[in-house]
Amino acid sequence: MRLEQFWWFRASVPAVVLVLLAYASWGYCYELCYNEIHQKLGQKSVAVGLICGAVTLALVVIFAWIQLVILGPGKQPKVLPFRILPDSAGTGSEDDQSSGKSTDGRAIETIVPPRVYQCDPQGYPLWCTACQSIKANRAHHSSTLGYCVPRFDHYCMWIGTVVGRRNYRLFVQYSLYLWGFCILVIASTASYLPRIIASRKTIPRVNPNILVVLALSCMVTLMVGPLSLSHIYYMSVNRTSLEVIATKRRSKATKNWICYLNETDGMRYVFEFKALDAQDYWNKHNVLRNLKEFLGAHIWLWLVPVGSNVKYHQSLSFEYEDALQSYIEEVSDSFLETLQNRIANGDYLTTFRAYGDQTSK
Ligand SMILES: [Zn+2]
């Protein structure tokens, strides 16, 4: 059992972070800005400006954090088995057939498979036994939350929740504003420190709280800075942390398969990809388009830490696209071209006719 599965562990690290943030805000605002800059150096307006800046940033960080946890990473709606075989055995095994019961108690229902889906080497879609659902493209089952998360990114120990499609923008905003808070503390403390030391004749020459807050801010900056930058890079090339991590493992699991419907001959083709290539399935090769997929279509909202850019919806439909709505993942045209080229070169694992593709016409 992993530690993240205990709620007290998930809550304890964020609680420590919150206490440290409160301490840093107090140490900075009271000890540095009020006691030193305002009282001793007599720069009232500078002190007020810095306090307002720090308090605003700290509140924004906490506000983004609360929303991150409350909104959550999103929950993938249930997706019925794909109609691969005529006998309605959507995912092809006995277990799966016994699972599917629609709300009115009828036998298993199947749906028309989407044009491109992630699959196993035989071309069968990925099935989540815990959720009793097809795993939509890019979704991953979170054992912490107990359900499949669309565009699963990672479990963040510091904020105590999973980051996925729905709260990803808030996560990026949280890191950026926390980074901003630390930079404000470091820059202003560093610029006033020589004057504070010079103005005091007694030992200690500087209040120790000011130094502790400075050290803490430097530590957090070293973690949050590179983290924010790497996430900005991942967004610009349309990758999740999970997809990036998969490229670093040297195990068998680093292979990926894609099942694709070639509309010219009506056949399904199964392609094998290495994780290194698989992380580019969703890359649109256009930075702005990729960023919009993660941060939303309206650029002026990218830094506004209010709500999610993904609408909440309840699945009312059995069709793939309607069930997933804003959780739909699309591949790029250049990726489809790659698949077409591989078909032309005979570079695929297997090919078959899916029953659902014929019934959909
Ligand atoms: Zn699941």
Res. 251 pLDDT band, cuts 50 70 90: low
Residue 102 confidence (pLDDT) above 50: no
Question: According to the model, what pLDDT value does residue 91 have?
Answer: 43
136 Cα to the center of ligand 1, angstroms: 10
Mean pLDDT over residues 33-55, rounded?
A: 96
Q: What percent of the chain has pLDDT over 70?
A: 89
pLDDT in tens, 279-300: 889 999 999 999 999 999 999 9
- Any alpha helices (H) in the chain, and if so which ranges? 7-26, 44-71, 94-99, 168-199, 208-236, 241-246, 275-278, 287-295, 320-324, 333-344, 355-359
Structure confidence by residue, pLDDT tens digits, 181-219? 999 999 999 999 999 988 877 777 889 999 999 999 999
CA–centroid distance, 323 to ligand 1, in Å, is 15
Average pLDDT rounded to a whole number, residues 334-353: 94
Give the distance (Å) from ligand 1 centre to CA of residue 137.
12
Q: How many A from CA of 109 to the centre of ligand 1?
A: 19
Ligand 1 center to 255 CA (angstroms): 20
Q: What is the pLDDT of residues 110-165, one digit of tens each?
A: 899 999 999 999 999 999 999 999 999 999 999 989 999 999 999 998 999 999 99
Peptide bond into 77 cis (omega under 30): no
Active site residues: 156
Nearest alpha carbon to residue 109 among 73, 82, 148, 134: 82
Secondary structure of residue 133 in the 3-state scheme? strand
DSSP sequence for 246-260: HTT--SGGGEEEEEE
Q: Judge whether residue 65 has pLDDT over 60.
A: yes
| pLDDT score recorded for residue 109 | 82
Q: What pLDDT does 1 receive?
A: 61
Pairing of strands 127-128, 133-134: antiparallel
